[in-house]
Structure 1
Amino acid sequence: MDRPDLPLNGLRVFEAAYRQGSFTRAAIELRVTQAAVSHQVARLEDRLGVALFVRASGGLVPTDEGRALYPVLEHGFDAMARTLDRITGHRHIETLKIGVVTTFAVGWLMPRLPEFRRTHPAIVLRISTNNNRVEILREGLDMAIRYGTGSWTGLEADLLLDAPLAPLCAPSIAKHLTNPETLGREVLLRSYRSDEWPRWFAEAGASCPPLTGPMFDSSLAMADIASEGAGVALLPVDMFARRIADGRLVQPFSTVLSAGSYFLTWPADRPPTPAMVDFRRWLRAVSAGSTSHASD
């Protein structure tokens, strides 16, 4: 059976467009014009006799055929690169692009990265931070670490760390807090997850006061404001252990709320690269050690 003579360049352009979710961003990555990317994809679709994308106002939406083709190409291009490196005698350097929620990056991951670089010198990590809103494929990422319940459509997820929440504040405020009801006299800083304070008060056996404090999409911003004495923030305690240890923040009550955990996620339909496998294995081992140490 005759097979279509598929242009390698067209396949590479399709792979970049799929990953970027945009002809424009793919063109920037490949250093060509947007028109050239569109032409290459259209030519490939004509050769295959199927549509690979649906052009929508929000960007490119892959068809079923496009979603089936992408992981095969991605795996193939990576395999070719490793084989060529072996043939030419070069050590294969693999780049791994990771999106990380900022609180986890600053409070846990970054201090541990020197160990990863030491034990995995052939993997270059490119880390971009976010406020827990990330789209792996559209942002050209391989994996993402995020906060939640572990259930995201189309993604695999490994539990890394539980992240119980508790009120944290400056020492000047903590000395006035004798029981949960006294929090009603303070400014309660809020995240975009509006149910957290009511759930914490319920866990503490107290009534939740009216919530009128400012709302934030960053736990780090709330921690900064709380440490200045401008309010009380409900935060993942373990991510701010250093601030608690140096006295900038105080945990006035032992009650904690189990509202979510940190997970490593990646597309379910994407064959993992060797770098993804190594990073996942390292992260699971280090987080397991961290959990064990925290429970000692």
Structure 2
Amino acid sequence: MRPHLPLNALRAFESSARHLSFTRAALELSVTQAAVSQQVRMLEERLGTALFKRLPRGLGITDEGRALLPVLSDAFGRIENVLKQFEGGHFHEVLTVGVVGTFAVGWLMPRLKSFREAHPFVELRLLTHNNLVDPAAEGLDFAIRFGEGTWPATHNELLLDAPLSVLCAPEIARQLAGPADLARQTLLRSYRADEWNLWLAAAGLEPWTVNGPVFDSSRLMVEAAVQGAGVALAPPRMFVRELQAGMLVCPFDTQVSTGSYWLTRLKSRQMAPAMALFRNWILAEAGGMPLAAEERSAGVRAFT
């Protein structure tokens, strides 16, 4: 049976191997150089092998030491990360959420303060994506996605609907007496190719070929619209601030639905306490959303 290996000796070796110096390891560990050297020598005796080559100037690590170092570095790193979660006398749970960028900026960010105030011991980590996400590979507790909610590997809960409407800068809106006038404008497109055809049909028009620039983010596309580069088709409820500020206008009432925002988690992912807190909070926040028509009217009022 392998003899018991003292933690201090393992720590002394790991630090010395990273620095290739007993002196720098001693400074890091707040002990003497002699103490570090003694701990390493004791570890070598317990293992029955040399971990370092003592050189005239510094240390060289042996093959055995090189094999041991990454295992110890990873272990000590994991311990340190867990201990950090106890700072301040409370356990801080880490929650990692992948969020489609438009939803993150337009809806989630303005509400994060309330989550932090309600749950100060949950360390929220947000990663943005453009609706292409792999929760397992990315280590996500939740992923917020746009679509029909039919992803088979995840449990999917509806957050809110997000019908699409025409959005443009006020100076362009003044040129639009009716939907047919869009034929004289640059129509900005998302990577979902059928959106404009669906909207034009809903507005009672025969769809035409749309050749405007394509964006992989509705947030980026609408920013182009704000700057007068064209007319966007996007969910107004994700751009309430821009509408209320008069930077954007929604000139027509016609809407078309191509999907909703969903809170998703892997079916194999057990619900941790922090996950339950976030789920309950975001579902409550989404349930309190005003109607999309009310938000759209903010842009109409700003224009008129």
TM score, norm. by length of structure 1: 0.69
Q: After superposition, where does 1:181-220 map in structure 2 within 5 Å?
A: 181-220=180-219
Q: Where does structure 1 lack aligned partners over 5 or more consecutive residues?
A: 1-31, 38-76
Question: Which residue pairs with 2:176 in the alignment?
Answer: 177
The alpha-carbon deviation at position 292 of structure 1 amounts to: 6.6
Cα pair 2:122 2:274 within 8 Å, conserved:
yes
Cα pair 2:141 2:269 within 8 Å, conserved:
no
Residues 1:111 and 2:147 aligned together = no
Other structure's SS at 1:113 match: helix
Question: Which residue pairs with 1:101 in the alignment?
Answer: 100
The alpha-carbon deviation at position 175 of structure 1 amounts to: 0.8
Residues 1:240 and 2:250 aligned together = no
- State the distance in 1 between where 2:144 and 2:265 align: 9
Cα pair 2:173 2:249 within 8 Å, conserved:
yes
Other structure's SS at 1:95 match: strand
Question: Which residue pairs with 1:290 in the alignment?
Answer: 289
Question: Which residue pairs with 1:50 in the alignment?
Answer: none
Residues 83-132 of structure 1 show CA distances to partners (whole Å, capped at 9, x for unaligned) of x97xxx94221000001111111111011011101111111100011111
The alpha-carbon deviation at position 294 of structure 1 amounts to: 7.2
Question: Which residue pairs with 1:145 in the alignment?
Answer: 144
Cα pair 1:147 1:262 within 8 Å, conserved:
yes
- State the distance in 2 between where 1:104 and 1:274 align: 24
- State the distance in 2 between where 1:242 and 1:235 align: 14
Residues 6-51 of structure 1 show CA distances to partners (whole Å, capped at 9, x for unaligned) of xxxxxxxxxxxxxxxxxxxxxxxxxx99x978xxxxxxxxxxxxxx
Match for 1:96: what amino acid?
L
- State the distance in 2 between where 1:218 and 1:115 align: 26
Cα pair 1:186 1:232 within 8 Å, conserved:
yes
Question: Structure 1 residues 237, 149: CA separation in 2 closer, same or farther (over 3 Å shift)?
Answer: same
- State the distance in 1 between where 2:293 and 2:176 align: 26
Match for 1:136: what amino acid?
P
Residues 182-231 of structure 1 show CA distances to partners (whole Å, capped at 9, x for unaligned) of 10110000000001000011111111221111101011111111111110
Question: Which residue pairs with 1:273 in the alignment?
Answer: 272
Cα pair 2:236 2:292 within 8 Å, conserved:
no
Question: Structure 1 residues 291, 171: CA separation in 2 closer, same or farther (over 3 Å shift)?
Answer: closer
TM score, norm. by length of structure 2: 0.67
Question: Structure 1 residues 107, 214: CA separation in 2 closer, same or farther (over 3 Å shift)?
Answer: same
The alpha-carbon deviation at position 167 of structure 1 amounts to: 0.8
Residues 46-78 of structure 1 show CA distances to partners (whole Å, capped at 9, x for unaligned) of xxxxxxxxxxxxxxxxxxxxxxxxxxxxxxx9x
Question: Which residue pairs with 1:229 in the alignment?
Answer: 228
- State the distance in 2 between where 1:36 and 1:185 align: 63
- State the distance in 1 between where 2:224 and 2:120 align: 38
Q: State the number of aligned residues.
A: 220
Poorly superposed stretches of 4+, deviation over 3 Å: 291-296
- State the distance in 1 between where 2:206 and 2:249 align: 22
Whichever of the two has the greater Rg, that structure is: 2
Question: Which residue pairs with 2:133 in the alignment?
Answer: 134
- State the distance in 1 between where 2:277 and 2:217 align: 30
- State the distance in 2 between where 1:294 and 1:222 align: 21
Question: Which residue pairs with 2:31 in the alignment?
Answer: none
Other structure's SS at 1:271 match: coil
Q: Give the % identical residues.
A: 50
